[in-house]
Structure 1
Amino acid sequence: MSFYISLSGLKAAQTDLATIANNVSNVNSTAFKKSKAVFGDIFAAAPMQTTTQVAGQGARVQGITQQFTQGTIEGTDKTLDLAITGEGFFTVKRTGDSQVSFTRNGALSLTEDRYVVDTTGARVQVIPVDPTTGEPSAALAASLAAGTVTSGDLADLQVPTNWPAGGTGNQLNSVGVGKDGQITGVYADGSTVYLGTTAMAAFNSQDGLRQQGDAHWTSTSASGTPRFGIGNSGLYGSVRSGSLERANVDITEELVALISAQRNFQANSKAIEAANTLSTTIVNMRT
């Protein structure tokens, strides 16, 4: 039995090592969120058996959870590099299958047709506003207040080269992003046009989000449906233009954890070696 107990310990240590290795390998991945392996003991006894005389039966992996703590904010001086300080996620939609996902990686760029996309090519979603006043429609404002906005109410963010869009004059001079995520374009005649407000998403349980890679997540029944809103208010953190969020991995902390996991692996190996020595001694007693 001790062989299998130590084997479960080896498997647990191996999972811990793999989790730490993944954290370390992504130390330079933008907006990466580190993971932590959670373990539990295995115990079994008959109903009438005295449990004080029964040893445990090893360890098991209860799960690998992500730590959604704030990463360090790094300045880039690029207007369309966005970082979130606080809670919330940016909302993006893939053009192929229209799948909506959520990310904190705000390294954005423009496509040939002037749509704003993230590193995976998914289009950034915004809350539509009036180009002149910057306010959403009355119906949409009511939905925002009630927390009933859905992904169908959002729109792709597009930055026209000319205003009005499709024209040939009045070219774009600059783009600005406010703390609330409101995106504006200043054109040659000095007019300011409101292009939309980044749709921030919050969840009842962030731990229930499903990882998709590239610092993207999708909602599940465990996370609950996303609640969309505007940055720098309520559940949603503020948006910082010209910045990116680095991975929340502390390399020193991970190296200490790596040493601990390695020692756990060695200790379980020694326990198997000791059990093997005892078994060999017993087998050889007759000879």
Structure 2
Amino acid sequence: MGFQTGLSGLNAASKNLDVIGNNIANANTTGFKSSRTDFAEAVASAIGSASGQASGIGVNVAAINQQFRQGPYSTTGNNLDVAINGNGFFVVRQPDGSTAYTRAGNFVADKQGQLRTVQNDYVMGYPVDPATGKVQTGAAPMALSFPTGSIAAKQTEKAQISLNLDSRAQPAAGDATATPPIPPTPRATYGTAITVFDAQGTEIHTSFYFEKSATGNTWEIYNSLDPAAPSIGTAVFDTGGKLTSLTPTAPATGSGTELILPIDGGTANPNGLPPFPVSFDFGSTTQYGSKFANNGLQQDGYATGMLTGISISQNGSITASYSNGLTRVESQLAMADFTNAQGLAQVGGNKWVATADSGPALNGTAETGSLGSLRAGSLEDSNVDLTAELVNMMVAQRAYQANAQTIKTQDQVFSTLVNLR
């Protein structure tokens, strides 16, 4: 028995205690993954000797492996806290510009509107294409940010109007020859109004009125209560009550079921803005035997507004709410997975970086491929089993004491040999 054998045991037990101590110290660290010390025996053998004649010369630490099992969740109520349920890591950009990965989703929005970690790293994600409103997951991840000041107003371009016109209505002109006479129907009887926005975000109320014509299944559309105002379109329905055609009349234009009407701000905006065209789609309008009903009004313009809140969905889509009532998806959190997560290198601050052993990052978004889903308003806690670690610490302590005893015993043996006469 050599001194070096006992010394290797002391070193190994000491390293094991270091790992256990680190696990215990991080029992409350968000997103922390515990580590385990793996040992391997050290063997000495003479050249050319059979393996059965090899002698053990102690132990060494073969590896310190991270345990990437799922940690429990804590509900925080903070909508910027996000926990990963399943595989994957959040992608962050460190202050030096390098990319790192983390399971800690305790994010904050700074005064510039940038989403950061508590370690001051930029949280990466995919932007939204302003033209289509779709997330550009094929683009390179970029640092996420949100407007902290006011967002610009957007002029209305399209609007959808869904109504039901009562098929039992009499022609608006009435019938004086009928018994009893049928009086004319006031134009205001069947009408609706929708608010659109000009380029400066001014609200402009646009009204539409509908008069049943003497021709069956046909209605005239007006945008004024002035009796002298002409019709701006003729809507024709089939026998099933579906809108089949919408013929515009100047100044309206259009085709299919759309009326394109120039909108003048008038007194709503006295700044002399030129009229702007808005396409009003009546495709969902019906003619059924029930009361006149306004089933839905939608338009794509809005006034200026301030950011009031941010929410994150299970797939990582980040929705921003604004004071003007607008709610829209602004971006989507980027995530990454690895062929061999055990090969990631820890760099501190709840972060890892890719290495040759881990392989390159497999980028994507939550709920795609092998990547898990997200839970907003929660955080993933450390996966350290504190009870197990305390037991492991006692075992490591006993191992350290036993190896110290082997050195003491070897010293006594040498002392005996030296004192031989």
The corresponding residue for 1:112 is 111
How much has 1:187 moved relative to structure 2? 1.6
The corresponding residue for 2:120 is 121
Whether contact under 8 Å (1:163, 1:169) holds in the other structure is yes
How much has 1:237 moved relative to structure 2? 0.8
How has the CA–CA distance of structure 1 residues 106 and 208 changed in structure 2, closer, same or farther, with 3 Å as cutoff? Answer: same
Distance 2:22 2:99 in 1: 26
Task: State the TM-score, normalizing by the size of structure 2.
Answer: 0.62
For the pair 1:38 / 2:71, whether they are aligned, the reply is no
The equivalences for 1:145-224 within 5 A come to 153-161=140-148, 162-164=150-152, 169-224=304-359
The corresponding residue for 1:253 is 388
How has the CA–CA distance of structure 1 residues 192 and 131 changed in structure 2, closer, same or farther, with 3 Å as cutoff? Answer: farther
Task: State the TM-score, normalizing by the size of structure 1.
Answer: 0.89
Distance 1:213 1:194 in 2: 32
Distance 1:51 1:98 in 2: 52
How much has 1:44 moved relative to structure 2? 2.0
Distance 1:249 1:164 in 2: 48
* Amino acid in structure 2 at the alignment position of 1:156: A
Whether contact under 8 Å (1:176, 1:184) holds in the other structure is yes
How much has 1:46 moved relative to structure 2? 2.0
How has the CA–CA distance of structure 1 residues 134 and 83 changed in structure 2, closer, same or farther, with 3 Å as cutoff? Answer: farther
What SS class does the counterpart of residue 43 from structure 1 fall into?
strand
Q: Deviations over 1:232-263 (max 9, x none)?
A: 22211111111111111010000010011001
Q: Deviations over 1:209-252 (max 9, x none)?
A: 11110110111111111111110222111111111111110100
How much has 1:54 moved relative to structure 2? 4.0
What SS class does the counterpart of residue 42 from structure 1 fall into?
strand
Aligned residues: 272
How much has 1:114 moved relative to structure 2? 0.8
Whether contact under 8 Å (1:172, 1:185) holds in the other structure is yes
Which consecutive unaligned segments of at least 5 residues does structure 1 have?
Answer: 142-148
Backbone CA RMSD of aligned residues:
1.9
> Which structure shows the bigger proportion of residues in strand conformation?
2
Q: Deviations over 1:35-66 (max 9, x none)?
A: 11111011121244344444311101111111
Q: Deviations over 1:59-102 (max 9, x none)?
A: 011111111111111000000011101010011112x4211111
* Amino acid in structure 1 at the alignment position of 2:18: A
Distance 2:56 2:152 in 1: 72
What SS class does the counterpart of residue 304 from structure 2 fall into?
coil
User: Larger Cα Rg: Structure 1 or Structure 2?
Assistant: 2
The equivalences for 1:79-118 within 5 A come to 79-94=79-94, 96-118=95-117
Distance 1:26 1:101 in 2: 20
Which consecutive unaligned segments of at least 5 residues does structure 2 have?
Answer: 154-199, 201-302
Distance 2:396 2:390 in 1: 10
Distance 1:73 1:134 in 2: 33
Distance 1:131 1:255 in 2: 54
The corresponding residue for 2:295 is none
* Amino acid in structure 2 at the alignment position of 1:159: F
Whether contact under 8 Å (2:72, 2:381) holds in the other structure is yes
Distance 1:51 1:220 in 2: 35
Whether contact under 8 Å (1:134, 1:196) holds in the other structure is no
How has the CA–CA distance of structure 1 residues 4 and 128 changed in structure 2, closer, same or farther, with 3 Å as cutoff? Answer: same
